[in-house]
Amino acid sequence: MTTIESAPAARVAEIDGVPMSGLLAVAEQPRAVVVALHGGATDSAYFDCPGHPELSLLRTGPARGFTVLALDRPGYGASRPHVDEFTRPERRVDAALAAIDAHLDSLDLGAGIFLWGHSLGCELTMRLAVEPRERWRRAARRDRGLLGIALAGTGREHHADACGILGTEAQYADPKGVYGLIWAHPEIYPPELVGGAPIASRTPSYEATVTASWPHTEFPQLAARVEVPVHFTAAEHERVWRGDPEALDDIAAIFTAAPRVELHTQPDAGHNLALGYAAASYHATVLSFVQECIDNRSADRISDTTK
């Protein structure tokens, strides 16, 4: 079995003339594959916490039996020079699906693929999740497609502390204010990571539009179409989005087609859950949910064969 110290491999696949990069960590005889999609102003390195392998999803995932592909979202990583090609959501979805298929080509996928999104990465995660099952059956090489999704660092309503700080399509955000929101309670992170410099990346221009319309339009519309189990995490010290019990119940309520929605509040964590000291606990919680998705699917198949 892969050890926690094993370094993930950098990968690049050419998709329609565009290089799509990411980090891949392969487990021996994997239970499933987790495809992780980072948030804004960073890249796939978000899931490989620099200098702290014990906090890295790309290292702990394989140690627990899961292959992990952290994909650089369209407009990030190697595809940055082609960012203008990704203004349309449909193009981003097509590129991501093709990249997932290319990066995982010939690998053992175990029970299938599970999507894990953070912050702005939740937009692509959910757009991928509502793609027709036939597309996921091909990508996952399984007859029932996607196993489930995990979301964190997003929401339907901004935290009271974010009022007047976050930008709109017509007005830029206050950089100092945003820094304070995202890195609230710096003591919960390794000090050298506070501010995100080791994993920083330029943000594609299309994300200004995504940010402005996400909580009130795309999020509820996409959520109503998700037909797989959903795990949603709110960090205890989240200051961009509301994560109180009422807000979490409102989020669960919009996933009207999902067979299951599990809500979780991660103690001692802030917006960047995968970079804080609580990352190991957070990752273990979501990976346990992935295993439950696998077990439930296996039980459903047994039930189907006995009818």
Whole-number pLDDT of residue 135? 80
Pick 76 or 298 by higher pLDDT.
76
The β-bridge relationship of strands 261-266 and 66-71 is unpaired
- pLDDT (tens digit per residue) in 260-290: 999 999 999 999 999 999 999 999 999 999 9
Q: Is the pLDDT of residue 14 over 70?
A: yes
The β-bridge relationship of strands 66-71 and 18-25 is antiparallel
For range 117-133, the mean pLDDT: 96
- Whether 33 and 65 have beta carbons less than 8 Å apart is answered as no
**Alpha-carbon distance 18 to 1, whole Å?**
34
Q: Is the pLDDT of residue 307 over 70?
A: no
- Whether 52 and 190 have beta carbons less than 8 Å apart is answered as yes
- Whether 2 and 77 have beta carbons less than 8 Å apart is answered as no
Pick 201 or 303 by higher pLDDT.
201
- 1 pLDDT band, cuts 50/70/90, is very low
- 297 pLDDT band, cuts 50/70/90, is confident
**Alpha-carbon distance 7 to 95, whole Å?**
26
- pLDDT (tens digit per residue) in 60-108: 999 999 999 999 999 999 999 999 999 999 999 999 999 999 999 999 9
**Alpha-carbon distance 77 to 103, whole Å?**
15
| Domains (range + CATH), the chain | 9-306 (3.40.50.1820)
**Alpha-carbon distance 245 to 257, whole Å?**
21
The β-bridge relationship of strands 148-152 and 32-37 is unpaired
- pLDDT (tens digit per residue) in 17-32: 999 999 999 999 999 9
Whole-number pLDDT of residue 43? 98
Locus of tokens 């996400």? 214
For range 109-130, the mean pLDDT: 97
**What does the chain come to in residues?**
307
186 φ/ψ sector (left φ>0, alpha ψ -120 to 50, else beta): alpha
- 117 pLDDT band, cuts 50/70/90, is very high
Pick 299 or 87 by higher pLDDT.
87
**Alpha-carbon distance 208 to 229, whole Å?**
29
- pLDDT (tens digit per residue) in 185-218: 999 999 999 999 999 999 999 998 899 899 999 9
- pLDDT (tens digit per residue) in 126-181: 999 999 877 877 766 666 679 999 999 999 999 999 988 885 555 556 788 899 99
